[in-house]
Structure 1
Amino acid sequence: MNTKRNIKLVVETILVFIGLCFWATYIHRHPLQHDALAKVLFVCTALFQGFWFYRFYIVGHEASHRKLFIASKTANDIVGSIILLPLMTPITVYRKIHLFHHGFNRKDNHTSALDTFTTKNPSLLKKIYYHVLWYISVFFGGLFIHSLVSVILFLFIPPRWARKISPAFEGWTLKDQFQSILLFSLGVGLHLAVYFFFGWEVYLWTMGYPMIAFAWILSLFVYIFHYDTTVGDQVRFNVRSVNRLPFFSWVLMNFNEHATHHQHPNIPWYELPEKRTTLPKDFADKNQNTWSLFSAIFQQIKGPRIIDESKD
């Protein structure tokens, strides 16, 4: 069942992507006569493409957990690597960062807690700075930049130095690094191939604008399941879920069932709704303060957690 379901998933993901490429090229070359409607159509198309790039990200997520093709590790990693090529993200790096997230999610105020800033005796100016940094991170694509920097560090920093930067690099070897650089190069090669074979405008319509939209969507969505949740050793409970919305649940492959995923990371995407697992009461009372996707997004306007370490 796993193989059939995920072959269908991969084929759907690739075919919709190709269809969106043709559609985006068509509407830019044959724009509507009404300029306002044409601009709305262009923006809506780019946003849908951005969400579809997020689909690549979620399929890659399944592959990073080796759930895409359970029977074959090789097939899992090859297909996962191909799906991630438009994002120029090596599955090796993705897996390393993501598994660290699962193992240390909000373990303390310093570890895997993107909404938390620690300092001593924070002044008003420093608090304003942290709030501005947070708003740029969430609402203006900054968390995408954060992810990009993380990938670049894994690719080009010598492993012995990298381990001093973050415990996420523990066990990272030169072999892993060379393999990742190769996969990254293939992703860059895909982008260059589209540019050289089809030209700058087609590249923008099919890869460039969608990547910009993806950067914004990723930053907006990626932390909604962990924002302002509990901090502590029970890392698999420092999370929330939101209710299913047909379009988003289809595109994001039931990622709304995030609390279930963190408690049982081996459950494949298509079984998450039927195997929904509630959080223990103490965690649910704090973390499950909304079941609305949009409320979870807008909660982030509240800003970051600023921890005054001088009071410890």
Structure 2
Amino acid sequence: MAGLLNTAILALSLAALWLCQWAASHLSVGYALLAVWVFSLVANTPFAIMHEAVHGVASRNRRWNELLGLVAGWAFPTSFSMQRVAHEGHHCRNRTDFDLYDYYLPGQSKRVRNLWLYLGNLFGLYWWSVVFGNLVYLLAPSLYRSRFFTERLSPALGFGPYVADLAKLPPLRVWVEIALAFMYQAGMIYCLDLKMASVIACYWAFALHWSALQYVDHAWSARDIRNGAWNLKVLPPFRWIALNYHYHQAHHQHPEAPWFDLPKFVDPAALQPSFWRIYLSLWKGVRPAPPMGAPADLDFLFPAADQPANDGAH
């Protein structure tokens, strides 16, 4: 059932993204802006399918699961193999010193950490850095796996352990996956006669949404590998489009559960902060890091006069 359902969802979401891209390029300004906004939401659906495939639950058939992950990666665009290794690393390092963007550690520059937070997570450069990294691998795979890139440049950008893991992947397989992803994007641009300004607008809107969500669902949560995430409160249609990705604590606690089972692992009586509360709090900048094992920073999220039970929806 999961394989058939996810295949249908992936096909529909890719068709919707093509339609949005066409509308953004060929319709009047009002409709084009609407298409850009819809694109920024729907582009999370193939990413969510790829995320399911990373955990091996997009389909019970292993080969079909791999194929779903590969094709879903084209919409990002990225290599499925790279995404799998990076995401598995995230589950191992979640809320540790190597996967922490809302805090700064002793000896780290608060100004530099704020630069990473604002540019990366809030202005969308996190998504662009992934795509740029794929482009580097496509054009110069040896450079991507060089000591300069893995030991000097990527640690300076905050991706050190992740790039070190990615550099160990079979280079030919990764190169082919990236090449297919960029060929898909080029084919879409050619077939739909897309304007590059509209393509950039669509993907920048998606980058703003995706880059923020990747840390809104973790910011100020407990410094705990398994429990350091939130089940965010959002309006159901937004959560459905992202295939329950906002139930992120449930996912970290049960990474083997498919997206349609996550709601049963969410305690309705437990705290579910809104997406917007945490998103807006990130604009206040990074804070000194509490020690590993520290609980969620509820005093920062909820001033004394503001009761968590009254927290609004997305």
Same-fold call, TM cutoff 0.5: yes
Match of residue 6 from structure 2: 6
Match of residue 110 from structure 2: 127
Paired amino acid for 2:210: L
Segments of structure 1 that go 5 or more residues without pairing to the other structure are: 32-37
Matches of 1:147 and 1:114, distance apart in 2? 16
Secondary structure of the corresponding residue to residue 184 of structure 1: helix
Q: Taking structure 1 as reference, are residues 78 and 4 closer, same or farther at Cα in structure 2, changes over 3 Å only?
A: closer
Q: Taking structure 1 as reference, are residues 178 and 241 closer, same or farther at Cα in structure 2, changes over 3 Å only?
A: same
Matches of 2:136 and 2:6, distance apart in 1? 31
Is 1:104 equivalent to 2:93 in the alignment? yes
Q: What's the % identity of the aligned pairs?
A: 19
* Residue pair 1:225, 1:240 contacting (<8 A) in 2 also: yes
Matches of 1:143 and 1:171, distance apart in 2? 18
208-217 vs 95-104, greater mean Cα deviation: 208-217
Paired amino acid for 1:82: V
Secondary structure of the corresponding residue to residue 104 of structure 2: strand
Match of residue 188 from structure 1: 182
Q: Taking structure 1 as reference, are residues 152 and 22 closer, same or farther at Cα in structure 2, changes over 3 Å only?
A: closer
Match of residue 92 from structure 1: 81
Is 1:301 equivalent to 2:296 in the alignment? no
Q: Taking structure 1 as reference, are residues 160 and 74 closer, same or farther at Cα in structure 2, changes over 3 Å only?
A: farther
Per-residue deviation, residues 140-188 of structure 1 (Å, max 9, x unmatched): 1122234345556777322777775644356657662221111111111
TM-score by length of 1: 0.77
Matches of 1:175 and 1:301, distance apart in 2? 36
Match of residue 34 from structure 1: none
Is 1:145 equivalent to 2:123 in the alignment? no
Matches of 2:45 and 2:78, distance apart in 1? 14
RMSD over aligned Cα atoms: 3.1
Q: Taking structure 1 as reference, are residues 307 and 262 closer, same or farther at Cα in structure 2, changes over 3 Å only?
A: closer
Per-residue deviation, residues 72-100 of structure 1 (Å, max 9, x unmatched): 11111112211221222111000000011
Matches of 1:248 and 1:25, distance apart in 2? 25
Give the superposition deviation at 1:132: 4.1
Matches of 1:218 and 1:21, distance apart in 2? 17
* Residue pair 2:21, 2:194 contacting (<8 A) in 1 also: no
Is 1:275 equivalent to 2:257 in the alignment? no
Secondary structure of the corresponding residue to residue 230 of structure 1: coil
Secondary structure of the corresponding residue to residue 270 of structure 1: helix
Is 1:168 equivalent to 2:162 in the alignment? yes
Q: Taking structure 1 as reference, are residues 229 and 204 closer, same or farther at Cα in structure 2, changes over 3 Å only?
A: same
Q: Taking structure 1 as reference, are residues 73 and 163 closer, same or farther at Cα in structure 2, changes over 3 Å only?
A: farther
Q: Please point out which of 210, 220, 225 is paired with 1:235.
A: 225
Is 1:52 equivalent to 2:42 in the alignment? yes
Give the superposition deviation at 1:47: 1.6
Matches of 2:248 and 2:133, distance apart in 1? 23
Give the superposition deviation at 1:42: 2.4
TM-score by length of 2: 0.77
Q: Taking structure 1 as reference, are residues 93 and 114 closer, same or farther at Cα in structure 2, changes over 3 Å only?
A: same
* Residue pair 1:260, 1:278 contacting (<8 A) in 2 also: no
Matches of 1:159 and 1:199, distance apart in 2? 38
Larger Rg: 1
Q: Taking structure 1 as reference, are residues 154 and 104 closer, same or farther at Cα in structure 2, changes over 3 Å only?
A: farther
Secondary structure of the corresponding residue to residue 44 of structure 2: helix
Match of residue 115 from structure 1: 102
Matches of 1:179 and 1:159, distance apart in 2? 18
* Residue pair 2:86, 2:166 contacting (<8 A) in 1 also: no
Q: Taking structure 1 as reference, are residues 134 and 172 closer, same or farther at Cα in structure 2, changes over 3 Å only?
A: closer
Q: Taking structure 1 as reference, are residues 172 and 219 closer, same or farther at Cα in structure 2, changes over 3 Å only?
A: closer
Match of residue 254 from structure 1: 244
Is 1:212 equivalent to 2:204 in the alignment? yes
Q: Taking structure 1 as reference, are residues 137 and 174 closer, same or farther at Cα in structure 2, changes over 3 Å only?
A: closer
Per-residue deviation, residues 254-306 of structure 1 (Å, max 9, x unmatched): 11211110000011001111232589xxxx7xxx5x52121121121221134
Matches of 1:230 and 1:81, distance apart in 2? 33
Is 1:65 equivalent to 2:74 in the alignment? no
* Residue pair 2:10, 2:46 contacting (<8 A) in 1 also: no
